[in-house]
C-alpha cells in the first residue's frame, strides 16, 4: 500500500513513476475522492468541536441549576449531523482504500524504465551453457525411462498441470529441499513451517488481494473462507500482522518450505509442459523484516544465499535486474535468477528476490520501535531459495548422459545413500 501522504504531496510525480509499471494508471479519481473526504472530515471535526463546547456549557448551566433545554436540543441536532457525515464518510473511505490497494509499489530510482522484459539487465552470469555431443532429451522425454514422475496418474487424481512424484523422483525432490534448507539455515535464516491456508486479511496484507484473486485457489463454505497460499511469503509476512517489533530484534530472517498453489490461467504451451508450469509446486522461501536503511544489504544477502544453492549444484545461471514493467506488483527492486534449460532452449526463473520496501508493511501494519522515537514501518523482502520444479528440470536436462542416465549432483548424494546416477528403469 502506498503512503497516501506521498500521493497528496506530488500526485503527478507519483503517477508518472507508477506508469513505468502500469501505463494505464490514473490517480485523478483517488485525488478527487480524497479531497471530498478531507472536506467532510474537516466539517465533522468542526461539528464535534462545537458539540464539545455546547456540552461544557450545558454542564455549567446544570451546576448553576439553570435551564439548558435549548442547548440540549442543539446537541441532538449536532449529533444527528455528525452521524450523517460519518455514514457518508465510511463508504467513501472504503472506496479510497480499495482504489489505493490496486496501485503497485513505486520502483526504485535506479531501475531501468521499460515495459519490455527483453530489456532486463544481466548483472551476473556464472558458468556456461552445456553442450552435447549427442541428441539430448528434455525432462519429459528423460522421464519416459527414468520414471521419476507420473503425469498421467496426476491428471487422473486432479487434472492437468499437477504432478505425481514417484520413487527416485520423490527422493530427489526431498533431497533438494533438505539441501536448500541447510544452506539457508547456515546463512542465518530461521526455519518455520507455516499453514498452507490463510484468511483474506493476510492475503490482502501481502498484496495478493484484491488484485490477484483470480489467480488464487479459494476454499469457501459455511465453515471456512480461506485461500491456499501461492507462496509462503504470504504466510510469513502475515506472522507479524499488526505488530510493533523491537529495533534490537531486527532483522528477522526466515526460511520455510511449503507447497505453493497457483491457478496459472491460460493453456500450457509446448515449452511449458511437464514441470515447467504447474498448479502446485514446492518452494523454499526466504523472507526478511528489516529497518529501511538495512534493506539494500539484506537484499544482497538473500540473492547470495539463493545463488549458493545453484553454485553447489554446478548449474549455469544468470542474474537479471528487472525493468520497471517486469517487476511484481509489490516490488520496488527485483533480481531474477534464471537457469539454462536445454530442453526448452531458454533461461527460466528459479528464484526471484524482491525488496518490497514498506509496501507490504503498510498493508499489514507491521512497524518497529526505535528508542525514544515514534514507530516506523519495516521493510519486507522476499525471495525464492529456490523453487524446485524448474530446478529439477535443470538438473535432469543439464546432467543427462547419452544412454538417458542422469548424474546426481555431488551435494545431493548424501541424502540418497550416496547414489551417483539415476538410471533408466
Residue numbers annotated as active site: 262, 277, 349, 352, 390
In the chain, DSSP finds a helix count (H) and a strand count (E) of 12, 16
How far out from the chain centre does Cα 307 lie?
19
H or E element at residue 258: strand 252-261
Contact 168, 146 (CB under 8 A): yes
Contact 19, 12 (CB under 8 A): no
Contact 335, 120 (CB under 8 A): no
Contact 263, 214 (CB under 8 A): yes
Give the cell for residue 390: 524448474
- The rounded distance, in Å, linking the Cα atoms of 60 and 55 is 9
- The rounded distance, in Å, linking the Cα atoms of 78 and 73 is 9
Query: What phi-psi label fits residue 376: left (phi over 0), alpha (psi between -120 and 50 degrees) or beta?
Result: beta
- The rounded distance, in Å, linking the Cα atoms of 361 and 379 is 7
Contact 371, 388 (CB under 8 A): no
Contacts (Cβ under 8 Å, ≥6 apart) of 71 = 54, 57, 58, 61
Three-class DSSP category at 84: helix
Amino acid at each position: 500500500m502506498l503512503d497516501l501522504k506521498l500521493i497528496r504531496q506530488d500526485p503527478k510525480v507519483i503517477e508518472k513513476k507508477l506508469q513505468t509499471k502500469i501505463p494505464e494508471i490514473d490517480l485523478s479519481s483517488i485525488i478527487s475522492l480524497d479531497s471530498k473526504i478531507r472536506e467532510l472530515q474537516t466539517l465533522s471535526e468542526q461539528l464535534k468541536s462545537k458539540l464539545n463546547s455546547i456540552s461544557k456549557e450545558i454542564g455549567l448551566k446544570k451546576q448553576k441549576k439553570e435551564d439548558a433545554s435549548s442547548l440540549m436540543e442543539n446537541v441532538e441536532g449536532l449529533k444527528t449531523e455528525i452521524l450523517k457525515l460519518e455514514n457518508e464518510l465510511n463508504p467513501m473511505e472504503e472506496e479510497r482504500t480499495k482504489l489505493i490497494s490496486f496501485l503497485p509499489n513505486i520502483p526504485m530510482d535506479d531501475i531501468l524504465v521499460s515495459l519490455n522484459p527483453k530489456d532486463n539487465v544481466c548483472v551476473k552470469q556464472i558458468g556456461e551453457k552445456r553442450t552435447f555431443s549427442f541428441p539430448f532429451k528434455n525432462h519429459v522425454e528423460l522421464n519416459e525411462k527414468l520414471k521419476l514422475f507420473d503425469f498421467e496418474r496426476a491428471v487422473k487424481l486432479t487434472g492437468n498441470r499437477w504432478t505425481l512424484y514417484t520413487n527416485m523422483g520423490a527422493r530427489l525432490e526431498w533431497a533438494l529441499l533438505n539441501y536448500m534448507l541447510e544452506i539457508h539455515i547456515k546463512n542465518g535464516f530461521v526455519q518455520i513451517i507455516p499453514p498452507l491456508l490463510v484468511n483474506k486479511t493476510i492475503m490482502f496484507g501481502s498484496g495478493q488481494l484484491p488484485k490477484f484473486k483470480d489467480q488464487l485457489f479459494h476454499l469457501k463454505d459455511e465453515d471456512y473462507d480461506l485461500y491456499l497460499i501461492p507462496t509462503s511469503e504470504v504466510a510469513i509476512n502475515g506472522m507479524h500482522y499488526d505488530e510493533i517489533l523491537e529495533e534490537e530484534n531486527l532483522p528477522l530472517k526466515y526460511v520455510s518450505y511449503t507447497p505453493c498453489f497457483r491457478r496459472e490461467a491460460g493453456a500450457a504451451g509446448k515449452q511449458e509442459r511437464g514441470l515447467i508450469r504447474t498448479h502446485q509446486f514446492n518452494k523454499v522461501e526466504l523472507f526478511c523484516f528489516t529497518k529501511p536503511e538495512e534493506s539494500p544489504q539484506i537484499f544482497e544477502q538473500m540473492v547470495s544465499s539463493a545463488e549458493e544453492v545453484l553454485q553447489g549444484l554446478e548449474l549455469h545461471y544468470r542474474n537479471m535486474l528487472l525493468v520497471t514493467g517486469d517487476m511484481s506488483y509489490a516490488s520496488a527492486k527485483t533480481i531474477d535468477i534464471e537457469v539454462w534449460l536445454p530442453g526448452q532452449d531458454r533461461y527460466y526463473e528459479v528464484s526471484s528476490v524482491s525488496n518490497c520496501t514498506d509496501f507490504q508493511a503498510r498493508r499489514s501494519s507491521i512497524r518497529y520501535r526505535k528508542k525514544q522515537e515514534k514507530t516506523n514501518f519495516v521493510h519486507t523482502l522476499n525471495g525464492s531459495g529456490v523453487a524446485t520444479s524448474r530446478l529439477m528440470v535443470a538438473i535432469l536436462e543439464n546432467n543427462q548422459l547419452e544412454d538417458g542416465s542422469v548424474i546426481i549432483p555431488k551435494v545431493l548424494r548424501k541424502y540418497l545413500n550416496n547414489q551417483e546416477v539415476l538410471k533408466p528403469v
